[in-house]
Amino acid sequence: MGEIYETVAAAIDAVAATLMVLGILTAAFTFVRNSSFGRSDRLKQAQLVRCEFGMVLTLALELMIASDLLHTLINHSLEDLYALALLVAIRTVIG
Protein backbone atom coordinates (compact mmCIF):
# COMPACT_ATOMS: atom_id res chain seq x y z
CA MET A 1 0.00 0.00 0.00
CA GLY A 2 2.92 2.34 0.73
CA GLU A 3 4.18 1.97 -2.84
CA ILE A 4 0.88 3.25 -4.19
CA TYR A 5 1.08 6.31 -1.93
CA GLU A 6 4.68 6.91 -3.01
CA THR A 7 3.66 6.73 -6.68
CA VAL A 8 0.74 9.11 -6.13
CA ALA A 9 2.98 11.50 -4.18
CA ALA A 10 5.59 11.43 -6.96
CA ALA A 11 2.91 12.14 -9.56
CA ILE A 12 1.58 15.06 -7.52
CA ASP A 13 5.15 16.43 -7.18
CA ALA A 14 5.61 16.17 -10.94
CA VAL A 15 2.38 18.05 -11.61
CA ALA A 16 3.35 20.75 -9.10
CA ALA A 17 6.80 21.18 -10.64
CA THR A 18 5.31 21.33 -14.13
CA LEU A 19 2.82 23.97 -13.01
CA MET A 20 5.61 26.07 -11.53
CA VAL A 21 7.74 25.90 -14.67
CA LEU A 22 4.80 26.65 -16.96
CA GLY A 23 3.72 29.50 -14.69
CA ILE A 24 7.19 31.05 -14.74
CA LEU A 25 7.49 30.72 -18.52
CA THR A 26 4.01 32.09 -19.13
CA ALA A 27 4.52 35.03 -16.78
CA ALA A 28 7.91 35.88 -18.31
CA PHE A 29 6.57 35.63 -21.86
CA THR A 30 3.49 37.73 -21.08
CA PHE A 31 5.56 40.35 -19.24
CA VAL A 32 8.06 40.68 -22.08
CA ARG A 33 5.30 40.76 -24.69
CA ASN A 34 3.40 43.49 -22.85
CA SER A 35 6.54 45.51 -22.16
CA SER A 36 7.98 45.38 -25.65
CA PHE A 37 4.97 46.64 -27.57
CA GLY A 38 4.74 49.96 -25.73
CA ARG A 39 1.39 49.37 -24.13
CA SER A 40 0.04 52.37 -22.31
CA ASP A 41 -1.36 50.26 -19.46
CA ARG A 42 1.91 48.54 -18.51
CA LEU A 43 1.32 48.80 -14.76
CA LYS A 44 -2.10 47.19 -15.02
CA GLN A 45 -0.72 44.44 -17.24
CA ALA A 46 2.21 43.80 -14.88
CA GLN A 47 -0.19 43.49 -11.94
CA LEU A 48 -2.33 41.07 -13.94
CA VAL A 49 0.73 38.93 -14.73
CA ARG A 50 1.75 38.92 -11.05
CA CYS A 51 -1.76 37.93 -9.97
CA GLU A 52 -2.00 35.08 -12.49
CA PHE A 53 1.46 33.81 -11.56
CA GLY A 54 0.54 34.00 -7.89
CA MET A 55 -2.52 31.83 -8.48
CA VAL A 56 -0.45 29.21 -10.33
CA LEU A 57 2.22 29.27 -7.64
CA THR A 58 -0.38 28.90 -4.89
CA LEU A 59 -1.93 25.90 -6.64
CA ALA A 60 1.49 24.29 -7.08
CA LEU A 61 2.30 24.83 -3.39
CA GLU A 62 -1.01 23.30 -2.36
CA LEU A 63 -0.22 20.25 -4.47
CA MET A 64 3.20 20.04 -2.84
CA ILE A 65 1.54 20.16 0.58
CA ALA A 66 -0.72 17.26 -0.42
CA SER A 67 2.30 15.31 -1.64
CA ASP A 68 4.23 16.02 1.55
CA LEU A 69 1.25 14.89 3.61
CA LEU A 70 1.41 11.55 1.82
CA HIS A 71 5.17 11.34 2.39
CA THR A 72 4.71 12.13 6.08
CA LEU A 73 2.00 9.48 6.44
CA ILE A 74 4.25 6.89 4.82
CA ASN A 75 7.61 7.68 6.41
CA HIS A 76 6.63 9.08 9.81
CA SER A 77 9.87 11.06 10.00
CA LEU A 78 10.38 14.31 11.82
CA GLU A 79 12.29 15.71 8.83
CA ASP A 80 9.24 15.23 6.57
CA LEU A 81 7.08 16.91 9.16
CA TYR A 82 9.42 19.93 9.22
CA ALA A 83 9.34 20.13 5.42
CA LEU A 84 5.55 20.03 5.52
CA ALA A 85 5.45 22.76 8.16
CA LEU A 86 7.73 24.94 6.03
CA LEU A 87 5.51 24.51 2.95
CA VAL A 88 2.40 25.33 4.95
CA ALA A 89 4.09 28.46 6.35
CA ILE A 90 5.09 29.59 2.86
CA ARG A 91 1.58 28.94 1.59
CA THR A 92 0.12 30.91 4.48
CA VAL A 93 2.38 33.90 3.80
CA ILE A 94 1.65 33.89 0.06
CA GLY A 95 -2.09 33.32 0.48
Q: pTM of the prediction? A: 0.76
Q: For 26-67, what is each residue's pLDDT tens digit? A: 999 988 887 776 666 777 888 888 999 999 999 998 898 888
Task: Please report the pLDDT score of residue 35 as a whole number.
Answer: 76
Q: pLDDT value at position 52?
A: 92
Higher pLDDT among residues 40 and 6, named by residue: 6
- pLDDT score of 23 more than 90: yes
Per-residue pLDDT, averaged over 64-75, amounts to 83
The full DSSP string for 3-63 is: HHHHHHHHHHHHHHHHHHHHHHHHHHHHHHHHHHTT-TTHHHHHHHHHHHHHHHHHHHHHH
What is residue 86's predicted lDDT score, i.e. its pLDDT?
Answer: 86
